[in-house]
Amino acid sequence: MTGRVITITSGKGGVGKTTATANISAALADMGHKVVCMDADIGLRNLDVVLGLENRIVYDLVDVVEGRCKVRQAMIRDKRLEELYLIPAAQTRDKNAVAPKDMVRICDELRQDFDYIVIDSPAGIERGFKNAIAPADEVVIITNPEVSAVRDADRIIGLVEAEQKGPAKLVVNRINTEMVERGDMLAVADVLELLAVELIGIVPDDSAVLVSTNKGAPIALEPKSKTGQAFRDIARRLTGEEVPFSASNGNEGFLGRLSKLIGTKEGRNA
């Protein structure tokens, strides 16, 4: 088995990287894939709480890097999904405790046993980001329809290309359809036109996401949730499936333009 390494990053903090990592990982595992997600944000561990696994941590990523335990011992199995594991970040160390070559080595080991290794990158463009993208086969950039997030996403896209990890794929998170229709929020098509990258997901602005993180239960596992569906669609696209961007994710006008921009046939029918 040779698993794929997918790194989730953004540049700007607070745009939803950790939530996206948890939900994409859960959705992939729910589809029957063997998945391990890894928190690469050393010193600011968070993927564990979003997944509701914070009470089970014994070893962390730095313990693996420094040889205090085997990779297997640092993996925590998810409560709900048999095939989902988490490797938590260290909380008491800093990002320099891990080097890009450590990440490559650990991921090469994990590739033997897993279909997907999903890495939650820290914000910023320094060591933590470099660690997170070093082993990546694919980089997914999360942004919000907001000037600072789009600007940082553009910078990250450039850096990912420079590291020869591109082309990166884009998730536009927290789209508020009402505000887009009113002309007070950048539409997905606007963001795509500015960043000139491939779109892999549109996630609505949904207060239910906060409720799910309060509970430590990924929204991707709630069958009726539209936001959960958005994350499940991203997971399917990552596996190579062609999934149309549904009309429920935005308004008609923007979808028409979107289909022109991304040049896919599915948009035209929406």
Instruction: Name the site residues for other proteins (rule: CB under 8 A).
Output: 146-147, 150-151, 154-155, 157-158, 161, 180-187, 189-190, 193-197, 251, 253-254, 257, 260-261
Q: Which is nearer to other proteins, 92 or 148 (CB)?
A: 148
- Minimum Å gap between C-beta 30 and other proteins is 34
Q: Which is nearer to other proteins, 243 or 261 (CB)?
A: 261
Contact 177, 253 (CB under 8 A): no
Q: Which is nearer to other proteins, 214 or 251 (CB)?
A: 251
Nearest residue to 121 (alpha-carbon basis) of 233, 236, 17: 17
**Residue entry with tokens 């190579």:** 240
SS3 string of 12-59? CCCCCHHHHHHHHHHHHHHCCCCEEEEECCCCCCCHHHHHCCHHHCCC
Beta bridge partners of 202: 172
- Minimum Å gap between C-beta 1 and other proteins is 35
- Minimum Å gap between C-beta 238 and other proteins is 22
Distance from C-alpha of 23 to C-alpha of 51, rounded to nearest angstrom:
9
Q: Which is nearer to other proteins, 13 or 167 (CB)?
A: 167
Helices 188-195 + 147-162 axis angle, to 10: 40
Distance from C-alpha of 102 to C-alpha of 135, rounded to nearest angstrom:
9
- Minimum Å gap between C-beta 123 and other proteins is 17
- Minimum Å gap between C-beta 153 and other proteins is 10
Helices 226-238 + 17-30 axis angle, to 10: 70
232's tokens: 């499940």
Q: Which is nearer to other proteins, 52 or 250 (CB)?
A: 250
Nearest residue to 183 (alpha-carbon basis) of 254, 258, 247: 254
Lateral strand order in the sheet of 35-39: 76-77, 84-87, 35-39, 116-120, 4-9, 138-143, 169-175, 198-204
Q: Which is nearer to other proteins, 80 or 257 (CB)?
A: 257
Contact 46, 199 (CB under 8 A): no
- Minimum Å gap between C-beta 254 and other proteins is 6
- Minimum Å gap between C-beta 202 and other proteins is 15
Q: Which is nearer to other proteins, 143 or 212 (CB)?
A: 143
